[in-house]
Amino acid sequence: MIAIEKTTEISATGAGWDVERVREDFPVLTQTVNGKPLVYLDNAASAQVPQIVIERGAKYLREEHSNIHRGVHYLSQRATSAYEGAREKVRRFINAREARECIFVRGCTEGVNLVASAYGRKFVSEGDEIIVSEMEHHSNIVPWQMLCEERGARLRVLPMNDAGELMLDELDALLGERTKMVAVGHISNALGTINPIKEIAARAHKFGVPVLVDGAQGAPHLPLDVQDLDCDFYVISGHKMFAPTGSGVVYGKAELLEKMNPYHGGGSMIRTVTFERSTYADIPDKFEAGTPAIASQIGLGAAIDYLNSLDRRAAHAHEQDLLDYATRRLNSIEGVRIIGTAREKASVLAFVIEDVHPHDVGTILDQEGIAVRAGHHCAQPVMQHFKVSATVRASFAFYNTKYEVDKLISGVNKVVEVLG
Ligand code: C6P
């Protein structure tokens, strides 16, 4: 049983999850790589796309393709209604109060940049402070660092322990009158740690500080309720939750979004334009300049429909079973060290093998048809904490199987035999 705060409690019994049935939804999984059946364990980088989502994107391109919000003609109205329909699906998926609180962006990177820029240019000035955690992805560090440089503000870091858990007691000492934002990931892509967002938000709010959650890895794995989490911003990448690349969302509380500066200037985000000055549209349009990734966002809506059609508790329990099984088996291989041993973890398993470079592990596993990621995972401070240059990372989705974990373990054993 894992308890991920009140509203995200999920019972962990993998029973009843028909993984073979679910795999049929994902055409990409049936192929062979280097003459071996593909074992796709790089879901934290990009999850695969089910046929029903592929078909929805194709239908848009085949029957509805046109620009949105501009045309009075039939096709434009159909495209607009599909695009806005996707926004409403996002709203329900994360339980936002209103659809206008959901801004479409290309992904998490653009989402964090949007908030850092649009919130930061309005509210952050010299001497102010932004808190990020030590386990953040670069996407939730660099935009804040750029903002700090521009405004003369200071980046502060909430540390983690050697299990890869945030040291929450340090947060109270970091928070203060100068703090303008706490920006923290829901699930670490490099460690798998699930962070206690509700508690972080409660602590930050005592100081009147808003909280941005990088939900790139949270949205695919956890049921979401932004109202219950009480975060101020929640950022999502569609391609990590079974949707096409180019889709994503920034959720923001309306009262904050309304006060923020626009991000990009251009068409669709204005109310009036003269050479003297422009006035801006209401949210969400204020933040959606230019023609958006219409097909991708409609695809995100279809991916949400797909996720809603599954038993997500059973899916999550299945992922946890895979994580536990793989952790046990990896731990029994001499020379293997798991990086990230938090008590609350999602299905991300990072490790190093003594005296073997992670890229060599990745290459040998690829020869066996197994896709993992090797590198710093855009989280160099995490590597610095654990004094490694890189790790191998296997990340599981609900369509992975125990048989695939066995393949991974045989592959690792082979690496140890040959190079260890
Ligand atoms: N992590 C990984 O392999 P984009 O690239 O904008 O969709 O998402 C950026 C991002 C932000 N936050 C977290 C926690 C992430 O995991 C990612 C993307 C990929 O782990 C690519 S580096």
Residue 1: predicted pLDDT? 29
Say if ligand 1 is within 6 A of residue 45 CB. Answer: yes
Q: Any alpha helices (H) in 207-341, and if so which ranges? A: 226-229, 254-259, 294-309, 312-331
Range(s) of the domain holding residue 126: 55-308
Q: Give residue 23's pLDDT band: very low, low, confident or very high (50, 70, 90).
A: very high
Tell me what the mean pLDDT of segment 161-177 comes to.
97
- Kindly state the percentage of the chain with pLDDT values over 90: 95
Q: Which ligand 1 atom sits closest to the C-alpha of 239?
A: 7
Q: What is the mean pLDDT of residues 48-62?
A: 98
φ and ψ at residue 356, rounded to 5 degrees: -125, 130
For residue 14, name the pLDDT band (cuts at 50, 70, 90). Answer: low
Tell me how far apart the alpha carbons of residues 407 and 305 are, in angstroms, rounded to a whole number: 32
CA 279–ligand 1 middle distance (angstroms): 34
Q: Give the pLDDT of residue 2.
A: 33
Please give the number of the atom of ligand 1 that sits closest to the Cα of 42: 3
pLDDT at 13 over 60: no
Distance 12 CA to ligand 1 centre (A): 26
Q: Does 200 map to a domain?
A: yes
pLDDT at position 71, please? 76
pTM here is 0.96
pLDDT, tens digit, 9 for 90 and up, residues 364-386:
999 999 999 999 999 999 999 99
C-beta of 237 in contact with ligand 1 (< 6 A): yes
Confidence of residue 12 (pLDDT cuts 50, 70, 90): very low
pLDDT score at 15: 65
Residue 296 shares a structural domain with residue 323: no
Please give the distance, rounded to the nearest whole angstrom, from the Cα atom of residue 253 to the centre of ligand 1: 23
- Boundary residue ending a domain (287, 308, 329): 308
CB 147 within 8 A of CB 124: yes
**Could you list the active site residues?**
378
- Whether 8 is in a domain gets the answer no
CA of 240, closest atom in ligand 1: 7
| Nearest CA owner, ligand 1 atom 5 | 109
Distance 16 CA to ligand 1 centre (A): 31
Contact 243, 54 (CB under 8 A): no
In the predicted structure, residue 7 carries a pLDDT above the cut 70: no
| Pocket-testing residue among 109, 134, 137, ligand 1, by greatest number of atoms within 8 A of Cβ | 137
For the segment 233-247, what is each residue's pLDDT rounded down to a tens digit?
Answer: 999 999 999 999 999
8 Å CB contact between 237 and 216: yes
Tokens 């899916």 sit at which residue?
315
Distance separating alpha carbons of residues 306 and 52, to the nearest angstrom: 8
Q: Which of 282, 308, 334 is the last residue of a domain?
A: 308
In the chain, the number of structural domains is: 2
Task: Kindly state if the Cβ of 378 falls inside 6 Å of ligand 1.
Answer: yes
Given 275, 308, 341, which residue is the final one in a domain?
A: 308
Does the CB atom of residue 216 touch ligand 1 within 6 A? yes
Report the CATH number that the domain containing residue 364 is assigned in CATH.
3.90.1150.10
- Residue 217: give its domain's CATH number: 3.40.640.10
Pair type for strands 211-214 and 233-237: parallel
Going by CA atoms, what residue is nearest to atom 3 of ligand 1?
A: 45
Q: Note the pLDDT tens digit of each residue in 326-340.
A: 999 999 999 999 999
